[in-house]
Structure 1
Amino acid sequence: MSQTMALNRLGSIFLVFFLLSCVAVIVNAENDTAEDEYWKERAAVAMKIAEESVHPNPQEVTEEINADVHELIMGQNSTKRKLRGSKGYDGPCEATNPIDACWRCDPDWADNREKIVDCVKGFGKKTTGGKGGPIYIVTDDSDDDIVNPKPGTLRDAVIQKGPLWIIFEHSMVIRLQQELMVTSDKTIDGRGANVVIAFGGGITLQYVKNIIITNIHVKDIESKAGGMIRDCVNHFGFRTRSDGDGISLFGASNVWIDHVSMARCDDGLIDAIMSSTAITISNSHFTDHNEAMLFGASNSYSQDKIMQVTVAFNHFGQGLIQRMPRCRFGFFHVVNNDYTHWIMYAIGGNMNPTIISQGNRYIAPESHVAKEVTKREYTDESEWKHWNWRSEGDLMVNGAYFVESGDPNVAKSEKIEMLPFKPGTLASTLTRFSGALECCVGQPC
């Protein structure tokens, strides 16, 4: 073969490879464009729902939950009962807060799981989860195929269309290979089993609505590399590395997280960002973590002004350091929680969030430099003194103190004065059965 012929052949081979690479670039670009359009469309729908979910007068919501607590504690609720379900407690069932009083002591709770939909309080009160949909029973704890999930797995359940009430056939530990992408109108209901999501990816609620997560453990969640992941029955796409949040809300609205036990995640235990709103986090137990909750991730994302979150009847326990929660923009009602541990601070924020703290117990650490409950991040007093951060009826223990600011009447109304929230002295009672419960079918939970 002559040198000229060899060069011509090499040139032809090079041309073929060049043309193939151009085709690949074009195909990838088209795929990326289609993927961008898919998420843009979902984001637009989610933003519309979020804006419609914002309560025009958030003080009314704080008043409602305070009135319900008052009614229960004062014995005016005819459904007042005894409560069981916590480790180490085998006495009669005693309802200690109005959410639990709504359903916990009914021995037939397993025959009427949807009853809890009527029990949510606070900003997430319109959440119905999978109500009206069929029951999906998770029978398989594996997570081997994240693009084509096996029927019977949790990943297969959460991507289904329409309302779905997801329960578990038996106790299981689920190790997610990648983040779990949940679609709208779902309830993940761990009652009746010991369900642990651990040592893998966390739960992601991205551009979805109407989600209930109840009675599960979420711990030791890891950041995952990403890749091709199915997010609904008719779509899968490339996901970048996940942060390692236990439960991540990204443009999600009408969400209720109740009776969840959480610890040790690579990033936050619960993070809510990108216009997530209409959220209630209740009756949960948080331990062994640095940055527990982040509500609003960016100083530049002012759309988080629509964020409204209720944090009620939770126990912030051993091994916690900070962010319980840390807030940007938005309106946050922190009511009747028990803060027994922190190392740096309990509640922080910046970008002018409204934070109403009522009836919590704050037990400061021994360190003399960490007695303050609150922390304003990267902001001069000349600015934060106008932010509405109020403390009413909180119990301060071991030198704890809450630095207030803003309008002293922001949380007051005639209704609150008539039916007040319960004082911080009762926080340990109201949160006594926080975390995932030991529920047995046919018995009060």
Structure 2
Amino acid sequence: MVAGCKIKLLMVLVSMAVLMPTLRAGIAEFDDYLLQKAEEAKQASLEAFHPDPMNVTDHFNQHVHLALEGIEGSNSTRRSLAKYKGPCLATNPIDRCWRCDPNWAKNRKKLAKCVLGFGRKTTGGKKGRIYVVTDPSDNDVVNPKPGTLRYGALQKRPLWIIFARSMIIRLSKELMVTSHKTIDARGSNVHIAYGAGLSIQFARNVIIHGLRIHHVISTGGGMIRDTANHVGLRTVSDGDGISIFGSSNIWLDHLSMSNCQDGLIDAIQGSTAITISNSHFTHHNDVMLFGASDSYQGDSIMQVTVAFNHFGKGLVQRMPRCRWGFFHVVNNDYTHWLMYAIGGSQHPTIISQGNRFIAPPNPAARQITNRNYAPESVWKTWTWRSEGDLMMNGAYFIQSGNPSKRRPYSRFDMIKAKPGTFVRRLTRFSGSLNCFVGRPC
């Protein structure tokens, strides 16, 4: 098994070395600085890669079980659309770690202890100072003004970024988020809207929490500062809400996202150790893309957890669409899609556990899975498993692969994910939260 992992990593290294310069992620010119950043990011991604991903999924499932143990009524299939007005109620293990603490604003960095899944080692800016965004403007992308979000996101040192008040930030160009940063919008109503989106490129250890990201558009390129000590020439941005490129240890939590020009979330180019949780997605076509090319074998190390999210009104496809890597899609609520929910190509491993899938009225769109035109003779060997999912309104998941090849659960990790009947409770507070200082969030 160890020899097999070494061979796999060697193949990935060769693939990344050959293809990295050709897939540019908006970079118009690779200078010596960016080539060094790309090499450092590649090494960080390989270090973040887990050789036995089933251990991670089992660990996640155990936490879900413990969080729900003894909670009455948690198996309801109804989703309450009314605002909750009772005492603090944290219904999944990530939220229970921090949300009902009335002193959350004084203990903001406690959030860094709460992530589960493949992004579980992400601490963001925990080791840094608090940086307060006081200015919503974004007028200078080469020498950003202190007090702006761009200035804080570009600093070389770790920072925990918060907001002085509610604001709408219209980014004039894509915002480059550098390593060891937390963007924490709790306590303010912060929108990234009507301009460019966020890019996490050749970075590691980033938390983005509580933002409302919508109506992101493609913006022009040019000279843009991508770190505190480097300005690079960029091409036109795609219009993604959040783009993750060649990065590792990323946690996206309690986001509300809709209406972006390209994808809501893209993770490509050997990005790995990612958790996307507690978020609410609406009104979009291509929701999540994990792996941008069938030819880029470097994405074999991609490992992503998608958990406790609500996929809601106006969504079409890619929740997510996967290539090459290992993807744990667990305890999400799929209430709307027009084409399909989960798709992929190039033999990704997809473990779907305890999700609720409510098929659309169109009989032709009730299949949850889509293998992007690959013939059955090819996709029948891909490991796509459905365990404990709740299928409603005629939804169905076409499984593939040999289940006997799955690693057996260890004696410490025998607990399976909660079934789909628990999803309404687990995802009840998805999306950006209305948090007030001095009260439980």
Match of 1:435 in 2: 431
2:141 pairs with one of 115, 128, 146: 146
2:218 corresponds to which residue? Answer: 223
Q: How does 1:322-401 map to 2 (within 5 A)?
A: 322-401=317-396
Measure the CA separation in 2 of the matches of 1:185 and 1:98: 24
**1:171-320 alignment runs, 5 A limit:** 171-320=166-315
- Return closer, same or farther for 1:388/1:145 CA change in 2, 3 Å cut-off: same
Q: Select the residue among 419, 426, 429 that pairs with 1:423.
A: 419
Q: How far has the Cα of 1:417 moved from its partner?
A: 7.6
1:384 deviates by 0.3
1:63–1:415 Cα contact (<8 Å) kept? no
The match for 1:50 among 36, 45, 48 is 45
Q: Deviations over 1:294-335 (max 9, x none)?
A: 000001100100000000000000000000000000000000
Question: Could you tell me how far 1:412 is from its partner in structure 2?
Answer: 5.0
1:45-124 to 2 correspondences below 5 Å? 45-75=40-70, 88-124=83-119
Aligned mates of 1:307, 1:340 — CA distance in 2: 27
Shift in Å, 1:411: 6.4
Question: In structure 2, how many angstroms separate the alpha carbons of the residues matched to 1:398 and 1:435?
Answer: 25
Between the aligned partners of 1:416 and 1:372, the Cα distance in structure 2 is 35
Give the number of equivalent residue pairs: 405
Task: Give secondary structure in 2 for the equivalent of 1:249.
Answer: strand
Higher relative contact order (CA 8 A, sep 6+): 2
Distance 1:87 1:54 in 2: 41
Distance in 2 separating the partners of 1:252 and 1:35: 17
Judge conservation of contact 1:185–1:210 (CA < 8 Å) in 2.
Answer: yes
Distance 1:154 1:183 in 2: 12
- Cα distance in 1, alignment partners of residues 252 and 411 from structure 2: 27
* 2:132 matches 1:137: yes
User: 1:1-35 deviations in whole A, cap 9, x for unaligned?
Assistant: xxxxxxxxxxxxxxxxxxxxxxxxxxxxxxx9984
Could you tell me which runs of 5 or more consecutive residues in structure 1 were left unpaired when the two chains were aligned.
Answer: 1-31, 77-85
Task: Give me the whole-angstrom Cα distance separating, in 2, the residues matched to 1:302 and 1:272.
Answer: 14
Distance 2:28 2:104 in 1: 47
Superimposed CA distance per residue, residues 257-281 of structure 1 (whole angstroms, 9 cap, x where no aligned partner): 0000000111100000000000000
Measure, in 1, the Cα distance between the counterparts of 2:203 and 2:28.
22
Distance, in Å, in 2 between the alignment partners of 1:197 and 1:406 is 41
Residue 192 of structure 1, CA deviation: 0.5
- The separation in 1 between residues aligned to 2:108 and 2:417, in whole angstroms, is 29
Q: Is the 8 A contact 1:87 1:438 kept in 2?
A: no
RMSD value, Cα: 1.6
Displacement of 1:90 after TM fit?
1.5
1:102 shift after superposition: 0.3
* Structure 2 unaligned regions, length at least 5: 1-26, 72-80
Q: In 2 relative to 1, CA 186–369 (structure 1 residues): closer, same or farther, beyond 3 Å?
A: same
CA-to-partner distance for each residue in 1:46-97, whole Å, 9 max, x for gaps? Answer: 0000000001110000001100010111139xxxxxxxxx982221111110
Identical counterparts, % of pairs: 62
- Residue 136 of structure 1: SS of its match in structure 2? strand
Aligned equivalents of 2:375, 2:30: Cα separation in 1: 42
What amino acid maps onto 2:288 in structure 1? Answer: M
403-412 vs 330-339, which moves further: 403-412
| Preserved contact between residue 357 and residue 390 of structure 1 (Cα < 8 Å) | yes
Alpha-carbon distance in structure 1 between the residues aligned to 2:211 and 2:276: 13
Q: Secondary structure at the match of 2:31?
A: helix
